[in-house]
Structure 1
Amino acid sequence: MSPTGNIVTPEGIVRGEVLLDEERIVGVQADATVKGDTYIVPGFVDIHCHGGDGASYTVGDAEQAIVAAEFHLRHGTTTTLASLVSSPKELMLQAIEAFKPLVDDGILAGIHFEGPYLASSRCGAQNPAFLRDPDLDELAELVDAGAGAVKMMTIAPERAGAAEAIAYLASRGVIASIGHTDASYEVAKDGVAAGATAATHVFNGMRPVGHRDPGPVVAVMDSPSVVCEFIVDPVHLHMGTVSFAVNAIGADRIAAITDAMSATGMPEGEYELGGLRVKVADGAARLVEGGSIAGSTITMIDAFRNAVHGAGVSVEDAVKMTATTPARLLGLSDVGAVTHGLRADLLELDAELNLRGVMRAGVWVHRA
């Protein structure tokens, strides 16, 4: 059955029907007689997710990766990167070997290494034992092993050799993202000049903004070539901050992310992230030792609702943040919007933006 309702397209909201030919969208047909308050939006694209449903990408295990990807698919994420945390090279290579077949099969869109080239002073829930300066030989080994599967890496631009590492990643078609950094405004700008085109969970894991010391937050938001991630979760950001960001740089430069960990969708209690103990209580995940926030327990549909209901973002801009902009950052031309020729990754939402159905490649994989 073709989806009908208020269809959010790149040109605006159209009341009608999405026309399908097997796994592809062939058009959007306006029909004023369509009843109900349903929204049809493109499937979410999450470029920063560590796991869910008790399973974690961070351990480099294919079976756990499948569980996590299927969980987030049921919650509207039709395209996802598997994000790891700072790890020894051996685990990074293990993850590439385990996840490359899943990338080839379309279960994952690629791998995001959040670290290990991060600032110790802003490591957050990253294991400090695994942090190190960038190594071009190590990078080459990882990228070569991935054969296209490694899509993104987070780097602190102040680390020794970071500019060269960023330039190398850009030359290999890997997104270099500035994050977990205590860099000055100038050093962060140097990272952008070297080729960084993204910024990892802006505000979180970064030197705070000061009017005489703007730091990395202002540097990345002030760089038109950079897509900025935001964890649209009131644990990480006040919704007023999200509203400010959208008004300041626009939804075309924002990728809403979950930063979800294995505890997402699970009971509160104690979990593990990168070898560190994490306690989840009252919807927040924090390290047992130190209390740093350790990822989130939200899904992308939560992020979408938080953006609209919490931050006052329009539904059209929320679609850009959760689908169109991250798809463009990844260089994906067949997902991220409801328009002719793209894969039929579609979500059906009710008037309150609760998820009612998930379609991937023209097939309903979940219906409420």
Structure 2
Amino acid sequence: MAMSSTILHGNILTPDGWYLGDLRVEKGRIAEITGEPVDPTSNELPRLVPGFIDLHVHGGGGADAMEGYDAVATLARTHVRFGTTSLLATTMTAEESQVREVLAEIARYIDHQPTLVAQGLATRVLGVHLEGPYINPGKLGAQPAHAQVATIEKLDALLEIVAMPLITLAPEVAGHQQVIRHLADRGVRVQIGHTLGSYEDGVAALEHGACGFAHLFNAMSGLHHRKPGMVGAALAHAEYAELIPDLLHVHPGAIRAALRSIPKLYAVTDSTAAAGMPDGDYKLGEQNVTKCLGGVRLADGTLAGSTLTMDQALRNLVRIGLTLEEASHRLSRYPAEFLGRDDIGRLACGARADVVTLDVELNLTAVHVDGCQVSGESHVAHA
């Protein structure tokens, strides 16, 4: 259990910049931050950054979210080891009956997770990211061939089963613009993905209430100077979009172009059961996938999610030129803001004490969820 009062010391990344001092935790929340402004590169003390928030994660530790309760428990235990303190369990395209069954299993896990989080055993599952089945059958990527047309009635029924902060769909499918408007009115974040839609389709979706783009550049119509496609709509108009920074899904040059265009571009792993596991064969929904050469692929070579973990995503962003502060925002602050959450994704008084501790080479040395240490060295004094 989290101790009643815990102090973490080091270079602390706050919403107002870096401070060298102490972060005091009481009852799972940040009670106080004291210290002086600092350039963290001036010393070798630990770097304390907000816990990572992964809004697109299918699996980890050999388990796939579509396998239900036990699998979600496994992926939650796996990803917390790599600094993820909140995540959305992400589904795959499947028959409607299977989607319903999986959502009910995830809801059951969420009901039981507070004890696991409080004991430092798992990351916090915020709810579901429904990726499919309401996508374009011509742009499945690694999704199984069970694409369907969404209706307001179908989505309302699914929303009754489990908390679902995020839904990905293809806006060009007949009727989907109206569905987007309805979901936005209900407070659901809708993002565009697995789409063959045009630039105009993307702009119209944003006007109807869509607010993001799934794994930018991947599984969407690309940019051409006379046919800008869905990528063009994102680069020209988006405030938020998710991107997989494993340096395999997207070239570093394309990442940098997106960083200049989309103010709150944020990182996701799109990780599969293969994350945190050795090379070999795994499941992604009903698909068989193979982990090898640093990636995960279908038998035909199609990229099928990733093996990325959020700590490596942070290091990759720094490697291509971002500062640690900039990279942290894209793993914590912006995904929290995208969900409209101010209790996570930031180290500030009153926020949840979700803290990742890094050494000078950005290796992860400790993770705290609600102030409870779950891995690594503590760098902690107890008050």
Give the alignment's TM-score, normalised by structure 2: 0.90
Which of residues 58, 80, 96 in structure 2 aligns to 1:89? 96
Q: Deviations over 1:280-319 (max 9, x none)?
A: 111111111x22100000111011110111x211111111
Aligned to 1:11: 16
Q: Secondary structure at the match of 1:124?
A: coil
Which of residues 23, 31, 34 in structure 2 aligns to 1:29? 34
Q: Deviations over 1:324-347 (max 9, x none)?
A: 110111122211011111010001
Correspondence 1:142 to 2:153: no
Contact 1:74–1:358 (CA under 8 A) maintained in structure 2: yes
Aligned to 1:316: 325
What's the offset of the Cα at 1:31?
5.2
Aligned to 1:79: 86
Could you tell me which amino acid in structure 2 is paired with residue 126 of structure 1?
Q
Aligned to 1:273: 284
Could you tell me which amino acid in structure 1 is paired with residue 103 of structure 2?
I
Q: After TM superposition, which residue ranges in structure 1, 4 or more long, deviate above 4 angstroms? A: 31-35
Cα distance in structure 2, aligned partners of 1:356 and 1:336: 19
What's the offset of the Cα at 1:366?
0.9
Contact 2:236–2:261 (CA under 8 A) maintained in structure 1: no
Equivalences for 1:178-189 in 2 at 5 Å? 178-189=192-203
Q: Deviations over 1:63-101 (max 9, x none)?
A: 110110111011100000000111111121112211113
Cα distance in structure 1, aligned partners of 2:147 and 2:58: 18
Aligned to 1:126: 143
Correspondence 1:293 to 2:303: yes
What's the offset of the Cα at 1:36?
2.8
Which of residues 100, 108, 114 in structure 1 aligns to 2:131? 114
Could you tell me which amino acid in structure 1 is paired with residue 99 of structure 2?
M
Q: Secondary structure at the match of 2:207?
A: helix
Contact 2:81–2:367 (CA under 8 A) maintained in structure 1: yes
Cα distance in structure 2, aligned partners of 1:343 and 1:329: 17
Cα distance in structure 1, aligned partners of 2:254 and 2:7: 37
Cα distance in structure 2, aligned partners of 1:221 and 1:212: 15
Contact 2:296–2:305 (CA under 8 A) maintained in structure 1: yes
Aligned to 1:243: 256
Aligned to 1:264: 275
Contact 2:103–2:161 (CA under 8 A) maintained in structure 1: yes
Aligned to 2:175: 161
Contact 1:199–1:227 (CA under 8 A) maintained in structure 2: yes
Cα distance in structure 2, aligned partners of 1:43 and 1:101: 24
**Structure 2 segments unaligned to the other structure (5+ residues):** 1-5, 115-123, 378-383
Cα distance in structure 2, aligned partners of 1:29 and 1:256: 29
Contact 2:240–2:262 (CA under 8 A) maintained in structure 1: no
Which of residues 206, 210, 217 in structure 1 aligns to 2:220? 206
Contact 1:221–1:228 (CA under 8 A) maintained in structure 2: no
Cα distance in structure 1, aligned partners of 2:185 and 2:280: 43
Contact 2:275–2:307 (CA under 8 A) maintained in structure 1: yes
What percent of counterpart residues are identical? Answer: 36
**Structure 1 segments unaligned to the other structure (5+ residues):** none
What's the offset of the Cα at 1:32?
8.3
Could you tell me which amino acid in structure 2 is paired with residue 245 of structure 1?
A
Contact 1:152–1:175 (CA under 8 A) maintained in structure 2: yes
Correspondence 1:40 to 2:42: no
Q: Secondary structure at the match of 2:182?
A: helix
Cα distance in structure 1, aligned partners of 2:314 and 2:171: 30
Worse overlay, 324-333 or 29-38: 29-38
Which of residues 66, 69, 91 in structure 2 aligns to 1:58? 66
Aligned to 1:330: 339
Aligned to 1:345: 354
Which of residues 241, 250, 253 in structure 2 aligns to 1:228? 241
Could you tell me which amino acid in structure 1 is paired with residue 48 of structure 2?
I
Correspondence 1:20 to 2:25: yes
Cα distance in structure 2, aligned partners of 1:221 and 1:209: 9
Cα distance in structure 2, aligned partners of 1:342 and 1:77: 16
Could you tell me which amino acid in structure 1 is paired with residue 349 of structure 2?
H
What's the offset of the Cα at 1:182?
1.1
Contact 2:241–2:262 (CA under 8 A) maintained in structure 1: no
What's the offset of the Cα at 1:121?
2.2
Cα distance in structure 2, aligned partners of 1:2 and 1:15: 13
Cα distance in structure 2, aligned partners of 1:110 and 1:137: 20
Could you tell me which amino acid in structure 1 is paired with residue 280 of structure 2?
G
